Amino acid sequence: MQALTREIEALQRSVVGAPEEIEVGGRIGANPALARAEAELSSLRAQLGELDARLAHLRGELARNDAALASAAAVMPELAALQRAADLQGGKLAEFDARLRDVAAEEADGGTPLGSVRVLEPASPPVAPVGAPKKIRLLVALILGGAVGFAAGMLAHFARPTLLTAGMLERRLGAPVLAEIGVRRTGSRALRYAD
């Protein structure tokens, strides 16, 4: 491109000093050398314009490639971490595969992979249901139900406050007792009945 620019400048210098018209055979006309030089100069300028456009296009591509390269450089650490993880998993897979081949080789040789372990009798499904007979389950349910019922009754009896005297009732309600109806005392407990 610099060579083309120098060639254009040289042609311009040669055209500047040339006469525009010359006398040829007694006639005055345009200088053919000057016309050829101007045509060549115009052609070179057109080529220079095309080269400038191509250069601008290449600079745009270079900028896009630089941006793509910068983007790839930003992803490189993550890619390296993924590659390390893949290598680690590959190593574990190779180790597991080697152990699997060892076990398969032992079994092919008639041995067992665990040494002294062997099947004495193959497992079979049970013929009868497993569990306690129905009568025993019923008996256990009755005993447990009775015990839970008794415990609930005892808890309800002792958790609820029992008022044994008129004084206890007065303190509880904060009001005087006006009358008592048929209370007979035996021991420490009060038995109540209606007349």
Place of tokens 């030089």: 37
What average pLDDT does this structure show over 32-46? 78
Highest mean pLDDT among 1-15, 31-45, 124-138: 124-138
pLDDT attached to residue 133: 85
Residue 81 scores a pLDDT above 70: yes
Q: What pLDDT digit, counting tens, does each position of 100-123 carry?
A: 888 777 776 666 555 566 677 888
pLDDT attached to residue 151: 96
Q: Specify the range with the lowest mean pLDDT, choosing from 43-47, 49-53, 129-133.
A: 129-133
Residue 166: Cβ within 10 Å count: 14
CB 51 within 8 A of CB 1: yes
> H or E stretch including 24?
strand 21-24
Residue 189 scores a pLDDT above 60: no
CA distance 37 to 17: 12
What average pLDDT does this structure show over 184-190? 57
pLDDT attached to residue 142: 97
pLDDT attached to residue 147: 97
CA distance 134 to 132: 7
Token readout for 44 is 């070179």
Distances (CA, A) of 48 to 38, 58, 136, 175: 15, 15, 110, 120
Cross-strand bridge partners of residue 184:
191
Percent residues over pLDDT 70 in the chain = 73
What average pLDDT does this structure show over 6-12? 69
Give me the half-sphere count of Cα atoms (radius 13 Å) on the Cβ side of residue 57: 6
- pLDDT bin (cut points 50, 70, 90) of residue 139 is very high
> H or E stretch including 189?
strand 189-192
